[in-house]
């Protein structure tokens, strides 16, 4: 049975219900409620600190009630809602009540326009919710995601440390300093913890609030940790430290560098975390919060530890790569020529630019007949494998060069050897090993003949050399490109024969030095400078390169061509007759006397020439030609048109002949045979006891 005397709630007037609702909202709301007029001044408020304490705020401008990082931006937002009627939801700002001391907090603001039934604008309703803890968790999650995304994508230690600093600044720290043990930067094993006071650390990354904010004098600087500081304690017991900082912090006196940094940035809170992995110390991470930012809390330590652990693993991976690169680079250097080469009438210089790659090589090989082989090649890839394959290919090149083959045949045989090497490496090893990348290599092989003043060039997938004529004109040589060395398509190699003026410059490169039109233009411009030495030309090319051109490493070989003076060469066309050996001995004796060579050398040369010509008359075919070349060695060449290969053998005691080439091999330091389109040439080289004894040479007339 109902009480007839009680009022019916449904019969209450709407204005009475509305007033009650407002009183309840403003008295008991868990969020800040703010009613603003059209001038953005507070009409009624239930602030975050409680409605009872908010009466004095009525009449104040909203941006005077709340301090914000950017009050002008927040005022524009309020006026846009007032003008457009489009509400704003969940707009997060950093700030707090102007009359309440303390650090800024995360505040979520929503704004709605208040209107009469007829549409007349009355003002705004703004709600403010303290979401500081939620924002902190969001920031931590975002920072951790940035660390996992950015850190570890590079195998460069400095880049890895910079990525860590970039990931935490400014989202979690105002300033980050990443220091790495100096031995670790060089690829050595990290020292086991604790870190001794004598171990130097190198500052690998320093980053402030802005992307370009890197305090001067810090990056790359080395220091030893001063005792009795948070940094030395963290390196000693391998535990993170959260440390407040103010003007009276005692440990700053022991760390003047850190004290200067603190004063310059206004840092007031520090987290220092050691970079550790399996008990070894790789470095330290120092995270600072500066003026205007809330200090670190204990709840921030887990994030700092997680970020440091991820960074430590990435730094160690980069260290292992650096160590492998250092070993590979050392092997590469040892496998390359250890002193500057140079042939007869050719001046050479080279530059080996260090980089990630370790398979580039060059060679200057002296050949018979005063010729010089100029070689540049590149095995793609980095690490010890590339360096070892480079050494194998270079050894094969030297063996093939000694056979006096044409450049196209040298590359063809080198390619065959490369295919066999690739097949051997493709065989599965006895124990498991990661899949190796397919081998790729390129090479260019050129032979310069100073007597004919020609250069014969062939290339296997390699950039064409650049020719600079004596007048300074630089052009890329038109040389047919053959397949790369480990290419198994079996395509033949072609070669080009070029006639060069004396004083021409040939430049051979690996790919990075000619990548891009701008780089190629700069290289040609640097080479086209008459009067510069070949070493100066090499250096000029390097000076003019754009930044990071040789990140993979590069090789440059420059050669300036010359000619053998006429008075150092003597040549005779001889009859294919049994009397020719005696005539040849007389001609040679006269020429050697003119060159002021000693009697022992003259006698040996006469005997060598006699045996070579006798061999050519007996087993060869006309025409017959004899040539002597005097340089650092004395070269004797006998040419005939037969392609029958001579063989050295030991004659038996009952044989009347067959000892000719055996005698030649004992008298000469080197001997051999090379084939051409018009026959073969038997040659010998004799070491001269004292090259300076030859003295000034009279003209040597060539006899027909």
Q: Which of 70, 86, 78 is nearest to 34 (CA)?
A: 78
Long-range contacts of 110-117 (CB under 8 A, 24+ apart): 111/77, 111/78, 111/81, 111/87, 112/81, 112/87, 113/81, 113/82, 113/85, 113/87, 114/35, 115/85
Residue 71: other Cβ atoms inside 10 A: 16
Residue predicted with more confidence, 556 or 44: 556
Q: Which CATH architecture has domain 336-425+437-561?
A: 4-Layer Sandwich (3.60)
Helix (H), strand (E) at residue 32: strand 32-36
In this structure, the number of other CB atoms found within 10 A of the CB of residue 154 comes to 17
Q: Which token pair is 564?
A: 């053998």
Q: Residue 11, class by beta-carbon neighbours within 10 Å (0-12 exposed, 13-18 middle, 19+ buried)?
A: exposed
Q: Which percentage of the chain shows pLDDT scores above 70?
A: 86
**Band (569; pLDDT cuts 50, 70, 90):** very high
Lowest-confidence segment of 68-72, 438-442, 492-496, 694-698 by average pLDDT: 694-698
Q: What is the pLDDT of residue 187?
A: 86
Work out the average pLDDT over 41-56.
66
Spatial CA neighbour of 389 closest among 508, 491, 484, 490:
484
Q: Which CATH architecture has domain 566-694?
A: 2-Layer Sandwich (3.30)
pLDDT-based confidence at 149, cuts 50/70/90?
A: very high
pLDDT in the model for residue 169: 92
Reading the block at residue 458, the tokens are 């062939």
210 has a pLDDT exceeding 60: no
- What would the pLDDT profile of 221-245 be if each residue is shown by its tens digit? 888 888 889 999 999 889 999 999 9
Give the 3-state DSSP-derived string for 34-65, with helices as H, strands as E and coil as C.
EEECCCCEEEEEECCCCHHHCHHHCCCEHHHH
Which tokens is 411 given? 């590359």
Min mean pLDDT across 144-158, 360-374, 678-692 is at 678-692
pLDDT for res 648: 58
25-29, 391-395, 538-542, 585-589: segment of lowest average pLDDT: 25-29
Per the CB < 8 A criterion, the answer to whether 58 and 45 are in contact is: yes
Count of Cβ atoms closer than 10 Å to residue 246 Cβ: 9
Average pLDDT, the chain: 84
Q: How far apart are CA 587 and CA 599, in angstroms?
A: 15
Alpha-helical (H) ranges within 110-172 are 132-150, 157-168
pTM here? 0.71
For residue range 253-262, list pLDDT tens digits in order.
888 888 888 8
pLDDT greater than 70 at residue 700: no
Q: What is the pLDDT of residue 628?
A: 95
Q: What is the pLDDT of residues 167-191, one digit of tens each?
A: 999 999 999 999 999 989 888 888 8
Q: Hey, what CATH topology would domain 136-324 get?
A: Beta-Lactamase (3.30.450)
Between 394 and 689, the higher pLDDT residue: 394
Q: 556 pairs with which residues across the strands?
A: 351, 509
Residue 597 token pair: 């060579």
Q: Residue 44: how many CB atoms within 10 A of its CB?
A: 18
Asked if residues 325 and 167 have their Cβ atoms less than 8 Å apart, the reply is no
Q: Are 589 and 394 in contact (CB under 8 A)?
A: no
Highest mean pLDDT among 73-77, 165-169, 329-333, 421-425: 165-169
Write the burial class of residue 641 (CB in 10 Å: 0-12 exposed, 13-18 middle, 19+ buried): middle
Look at 446 and 386; give whichever has higher pLDDT: 446
Question: Is the confidence at residue 515, as pLDDT, over 90?
Answer: no
Handedness of CA 216, 219, 225, 231 (dihedral sign): positive
CATH topology agreement for domains 24-130 and 336-425+437-561: no
Is pLDDT at 432 greater than 90 in this prediction? no
pLDDT for position 696: 43
The model's pLDDT over 578-628, given as tens digits with 9 standing for 90+, comes to 899 999 999 999 999 999 999 999 999 999 999 899 888 988 888 999 999
Indicate the pLDDT class of residue 694, thresholds 50, 70 and 90. very low
Question: What topology is assigned to 24-130 in CATH?
Answer: Beta-Lactamase (3.30.450)
- Which comes out higher in pLDDT, residue 298 or 336? 298
Q: Give the N- to C-terminal CA distance of the chain in Å, as an integer.
A: 149
* 466-496 per-residue burial string, b: 16 or more CB within 10 A, e: under 16: bbbeeeeebeebebebbbbbbbeeeeebebb
**Does residue 350 have a cis peptide bond before it, meaning omega lies within 30 degrees of 0?**
no
Q: Which residue has the tokens 């409620």?
A: 33
Q: What percent of the chain has pLDDT over 90?
A: 39
pLDDT digits (tens, 9 = 90+) for 478-508: 999 999 998 767 788 999 999 999 999 999 9
Q: Domain spans of the chain?
A: 24-130, 136-324, 336-425+437-561, 566-694
């Amino acid at each position: 049975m109902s009480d007839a005397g009680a009022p019916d709630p449904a019969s209450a007037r709407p204005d009475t219900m509305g007033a009650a609702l407002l009183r309840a909202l403003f008295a008991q709301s868990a969020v800040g409620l703010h009613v603003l007029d059209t001038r953005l001044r507070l009409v009624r408020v239930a602030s975050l600190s409680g409605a009872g304490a908010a009466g004095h705020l009525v009449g104040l401008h909203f941006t005077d009630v709340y301090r914000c990082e950017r009050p002008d931006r927040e005022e524009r937002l309020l006026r846009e809602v007032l003008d457009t009627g489009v509400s704003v939801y969940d707009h997060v700002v950093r700030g707090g009540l102007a009359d309440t001391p303390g650090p800024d907090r995360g505040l979520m603001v929503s704004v709605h326009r208040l209107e009469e039934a007829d549409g007349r604008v009355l003002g705004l309703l703004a709600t403010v919710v303290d979401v500081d803890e939620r924002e902190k968790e969001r920031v931590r999650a975002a920072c951790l995601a940035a660390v996992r995304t950015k850190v570890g994508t590079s195998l460069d230690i400095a880049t890895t440390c910079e990525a860590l600093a970039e990931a935490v600044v400014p989202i979690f720290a105002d300033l980050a300093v990443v220091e790495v043990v100096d031995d670790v930067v060089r690829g050595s094993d990290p020292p086991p913890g604790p870190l001794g006071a004598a171990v130097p650390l190198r500052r690998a990354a320093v980053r402030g609030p802005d992307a370009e904010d890197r305090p001067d004098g810090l990056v790359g600087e080395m220091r030893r940790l001063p005792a009795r500081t948070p940094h030395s304690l963290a390196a000693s017991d391998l535990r993170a430290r959260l440390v407040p900082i103010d003007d009276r912090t005692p440990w700053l006196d022991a760390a003047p560098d850190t004290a200067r940094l603190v004063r310059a940035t206004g840092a007031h809170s520090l987290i220092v975390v050691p970079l550790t992995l399996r008990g070894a110390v790789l470095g330290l991470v120092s995270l600072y919060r500066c003026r205007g930012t809330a200090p670190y809390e204990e709840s921030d330590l887990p994030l700092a530890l997680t970020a440091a652990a991820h960074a430590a693993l990435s730094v160690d991976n980069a260290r292992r790569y650096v160590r492998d690169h250092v070993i590979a680079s050392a092997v590469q250097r040892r496998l390359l020529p250890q002193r500057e080469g140079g042939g007869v009438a050719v001046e050479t210089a080279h530059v080996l630019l260090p980089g990630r790659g370790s398979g580039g090589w060059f060679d200057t090989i002296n050949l018979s007949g005063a010729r010089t082989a100029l070689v540049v090649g590149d095995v793609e890839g980095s690490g010890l494998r590339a360096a070892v394959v480079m050494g194998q290919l270079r050894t094969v090149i030297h063996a093939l060069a000694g056979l006096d083959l044409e450049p196209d045949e040298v590359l063809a045989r080198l390619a065959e050897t490369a295919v066999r090497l690739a097949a051997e490496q493709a065989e599965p090893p006895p124990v498991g090993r990661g899949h190796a990348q397919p081998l790729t290599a390129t090479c260019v092989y050129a032979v310069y003949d100073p007597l004919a003043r020609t250069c014969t060039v062939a290339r296997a997938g390699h950039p064409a050399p650049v020719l600079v004529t004596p007048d300074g004109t630089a052009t890329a040589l038109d040389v047919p490109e053959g397949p790369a060395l480990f290419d198994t398509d079996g395509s033949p190699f072609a070669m080009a024969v070029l006639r060069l003026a004396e004083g021409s410059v040939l430049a051979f490169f690996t790919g990075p030095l000619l990548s891009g039109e701008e780089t190629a233009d700069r290289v040609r411009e640097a080479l086209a400078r008459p009067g510069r030495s070949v070493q100066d030309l090499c250096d000029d090319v390097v000076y003019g390169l754009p930044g990071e051109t040789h990140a993979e490493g590069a090789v440059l070989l420059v050669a300036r061509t010359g000619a053998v003076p006429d008075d150092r060469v003597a040549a005779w066309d001889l009859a294919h007759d049994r009397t020719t050996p005696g005539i040849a001995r007389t001609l040679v004796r006269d020429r050697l006397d003119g060159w002021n060579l000693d009697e022992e050398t003259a006698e040996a040369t006469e005997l060598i020439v006699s045996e070579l010509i006798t061999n050519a008359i007996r087993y060869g075919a006309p025409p017959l030609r004899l040539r002597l070349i005097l340089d650092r060695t004395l070269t004797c060449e006998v040419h005939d048109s037969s392609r029958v290969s001579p063989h050295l053998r030991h004659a038996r005691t009952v044989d009347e002949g067959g000892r000719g080439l055996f005698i030649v091999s004992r008298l000469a330091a080197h001997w051999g045979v090379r084939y051409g389109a018009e026959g073969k040439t038997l040659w010998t080289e004799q070491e001269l006891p004292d090259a300076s004894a030859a003295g000034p040479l009279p003209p040597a007339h060539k006899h027909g």
